[in-house]
């Protein structure tokens, strides 16, 4: 059961964004939109944002931030929201400026969220499967690796399924925020939607950090799903209005 849960979650991180992209292609999305989203995530979240974390968390303020869960969640959420939504803004404004079809936002979001799913969760699930395999075969000699493998083996299968739900919600949020930022770039007077995307992203990350530490994984995941559902309602309305103005080909 545990191995099956890990394998399911790992496969989901790849199948979900690719499945969405195949659907969005029929609506006018392009693979270039998808891969631009993936590349933007890597640059803005894994490179630029990490540089900020290095500077802040090693500064005199770093100790206070890391030792106060509310402050840590607030800082982490705002940093993720600002960097990733700014990345979206830059991508739509400069790299995809000639891609005007509404489905561009959907395809980009699938790529952005898909890259995060694969690199953050998918790789971890593959590593977990390798550790379990090595543990069962008795091939581990390093104490640190053995400890890590035993921790994975001791974890309940449900923990990995919660991770699957979290990835579904995260990809959905990335698609929804991509719609909001796309409209903020393309339509005059809609800049406030960029701010909404930043705050929504920050809120989800804040809740994930704080509730995981104080109320448990179930509360954290259900709260993030609830926020994502609210953002999805707004993004759906915004997308429908966008289609009326500029239908997909």
Distance CA 115, CA 189 (A): 31
Integer-rounded Cα Rg, in Å, for the chain is: 19
How confident is the model at residue 215, as a pLDDT?
Answer: 96
How confident is the model at residue 210, as a pLDDT?
Answer: 97
Is this structure's pTM higher than 0.75? yes
Look up residue 166 and give its two tokens. 């979290």
Q: For residue 181, what are the contacts with CB-CB under 8 A and spacing of at least 6?
A: 85, 88, 89, 92, 105, 193, 194, 197
Look up residue 144 and give its two tokens. 């640190």
Which single residue is written with the structure tokens 């991770």?
A: 163
On average, the pLDDT of the chain sits at: 95
b/e burial code for range 11-43 (CB count within 10 A of at least 16 → b): ebbeebbeebbeebbeebbbeebbbbbbbbbee
How confident is the model at residue 249, as a pLDDT?
Answer: 58
The DSSP symbol for 205 reads H
Show me where the domains of the chain are located. Answer: 2-245
Which single residue is written with the structure tokens 């009326």?
A: 244
What pLDDT, in 10s, does the model give residues 172-218?
Answer: 999 999 999 999 999 999 999 999 999 999 999 999 999 999 999 99
Apex CA 67: angle with CA 61 and CA 72, to 5°?
A: 75
Distance CA 29, CA 249 (A): 10
How confident is the model at residue 140, as a pLDDT?
Answer: 86
Distance CA 40, CA 36 (A): 6
How confident is the model at residue 234, as a pLDDT?
Answer: 98
How confident is the model at residue 128, as a pLDDT?
Answer: 96
Residue-wise pLDDT tens for the chain (249 aa)?
A: 789 999 999 999 999 999 999 999 999 999 999 999 999 999 999 999 999 999 999 998 889 899 999 999 999 999 999 999 999 999 999 999 999 999 999 999 999 999 999 999 999 999 999 999 999 998 888 899 999 999 999 999 999 999 999 999 999 999 999 999 999 999 999 999 999 999 999 999 999 999 999 999 999 999 999 999 999 999 999 999 998 877 655
């Amino acid at each position: 059961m545990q191995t099956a849960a890990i394998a399911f979650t790992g496969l989901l991180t790849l199948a979900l964004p690719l499945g969405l992209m195949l659907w969005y292609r029929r609506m006018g999305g392009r693979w270039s939109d998808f891969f631009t989203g993936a590349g933007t995530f890597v640059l803005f979240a894994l490179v630029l944002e990490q540089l900020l974390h290095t500077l802040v968390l090693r500064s005199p303020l770093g100790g206070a931030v890391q030792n106060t869960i509310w402050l840590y969640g607030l800082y982490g959420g705002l940093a993720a929201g600002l960097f990733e939504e700014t990345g979206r803004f830059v991508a739509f404004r400069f790299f995809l400026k000639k891609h005007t079809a509404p489905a561009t936002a959907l395809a980009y979001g699938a790529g952005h969220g898909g890259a995060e799913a694969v690199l953050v969760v998918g790789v971890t699930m593959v590593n977990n499967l390798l550790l379990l395999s090595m543990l069962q075969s008795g091939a581990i000699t390093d104490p640190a690796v053995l400890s890590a493998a035993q921790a994975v083996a001791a974890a309940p299968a449900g923990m990995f399924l919660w991770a699957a739900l979290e990835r579904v919600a995260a990809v959905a949020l990335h698609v929804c925020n991509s719609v909001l930022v796309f409209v903020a770039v393309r339509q005059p007077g809609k800049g406030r939607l960029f701010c909404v995307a930043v705050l929504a992203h920050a809120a989800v990350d804040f809740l994930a950090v704080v509730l995981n530490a104080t109320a448990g994984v179930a509360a954290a995941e259900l709260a993030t799903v609830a926020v994502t559902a609210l953002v999805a309602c707004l993004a759906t309305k915004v997308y429908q209005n966008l289609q009326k103005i500029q239908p997909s080909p």
